[in-house]
Amino acid sequence: MTATTYSISDLARELDITTRTIRFYEEQGMLSPERRGLERVYSGRDKVTLKLILRGKRIGFSLAECRDLIGLYDPAGGNHRQLSTMLEKIAERRAQLDQQLLDIQQMQLELDTAEERCKAALETSS
């Protein structure tokens, strides 16, 4: 049985990203395709890794955090440690987003106050 492999253009098309994006993650040491002459040949594991990177980036993880999470995967010992760490990072990210939301709400209140003052000043100066 032959393992499924992918060309860089196959992965780019399937995951709706550019080949440059894939090469970037390769340059960062996160993907390691085989070489057949000048052609890059990606494994199923490379595809899964790329999906994990893209998911991590979508939810706001840094590239270093994505790399750490991927590095925790242990096919022999299961992925308990990886999942536990992921849950911690999700909680941290959620706390950051909650704080950003509070900061935005505070800024909106300050904008409302500034707007009211400007309108009141314009009315009294007319």
pLDDT of residue 1: 57
Residue at 41 is within a domain = yes
Residue at 33 is within a domain = yes
| Tally of structural domains, the chain | 1
User: Which of 32, 39, 37, 52 is closest to 10 using CA atoms?
Assistant: 39
* CA gap 97, 115 in Å, rounded: 26
pLDDT of residue 80: 85
DSSP state of 78: B
Q: Which helix (H) or strand (E) holds 43?
A: strand 39-43
Q: From the first residue on, what is the mean pLDDT of each consecutive set of 10 residues in the chain (126 residues)?
A: 86 96 95 92 92 93 92 78 91 96 98 97 88
Residue at 17 is within a domain = yes
For residue 56, the enclosing domain spans: 5-73
Residue at 102 is within a domain = no
- Look up the CATH number of the domain holding residue 15: 1.10.1660.10
Residue at 115 is within a domain = no
Residue at 106 is within a domain = no
CA 68 to each of CA 32, 38, 61, 78: distance values in angstroms, whole numbers, following the listed order: 16, 29, 11, 16
SS3 1: coil
Query: What is the reported pTM?
Result: 0.75
Residue at 64 is within a domain = yes
Q: In sequence order, which residues have a C-beta less than 8 Å from that of residue 18 and are 6 or more positions away?
A: 12
* CA gap 10, 113 in Å, rounded: 54
